[in-house]
Chain A
Amino acid sequence: QQQVKQSPQSLIVQKGGISIINCAYENTAFDYFPWYQQFPGKGPALLIAIRPDVSEKKEGRFTISFNKSAKQFSLHIMDSQPGDSATYFCAASMIGTASKLTFGTGTRLQVTL
């Protein structure tokens, strides 16, 4: 019930293309869904987060789409750039209790020229 499943494991996108990473969760008590970006040798950096009371949140080139009934959420990176090449992790938790984040397994994104 605590799992968060993430796909794909790796992704290659051409510069200017759209990168799409998907996550699915099981625990219906989750109410906070952040995405983290991690570069090699660095800590995860919070990219964008969403609560289930909205179906979409956009910040610059990054958009989270949320489907509560399907228990799925996804990250879209528009106009992907080589500098976006990193590992992306989705996560979920119950924000009300400041409880632990449960992470997906990660997606390694490579944006080619």
Chain B
Amino acid sequence: NAGVMQNPRHLVRRRGQEARLRCSPMKGHSHVYWYRQLPEEGLKFMVYLQKENIIDESGMPKERFSAEFPKEGPSILRIQQVVRGDSAAYFCASSPQAGDRFFGPGTRLTVL
């Protein structure tokens, strides 16, 4: 049973470009959560999604950031017009209806 998968593992973008981060939850998990971690800091909640629905986006910046979890395929975190401050590790976690959350290996975004 594969764990949570994220790709790419490393992503380099220039200021103003778009970044797309993908997350495939564990088999049988219908809940996906995205977190951001800055160097030497904790994990900050961004958004919680179920299939085709955003449940809680209270941690998402109001501009440039969006997330989706379509009926088919992985969850996508999209950052438009990236800035240097977006450089961070982005982690996805998944869970079943009500259970333990398991994290993926993360995508490390570097904005030049």
Question: Which residue numbers of A lie inside 8 Å of B, CB to CB?
Answer: 34, 36, 42-46, 49, 89, 95-106
Contacts and interface: CB of A to CB of B under 8 A. Distances in A.
A51 B56 CA distance: 23
Interface size, B (range):
20 to 34
A38 B93 CA distance: 14
Contacts, number: 56
Nearest to A42: B105
B98 A96 contact: yes
B48 A100 contact: yes
Given A98-B95, A105-B42, A49 B105 contact: no
A101 B98 contact: no
Contacts of A104: 42
B56 A100 contact: yes
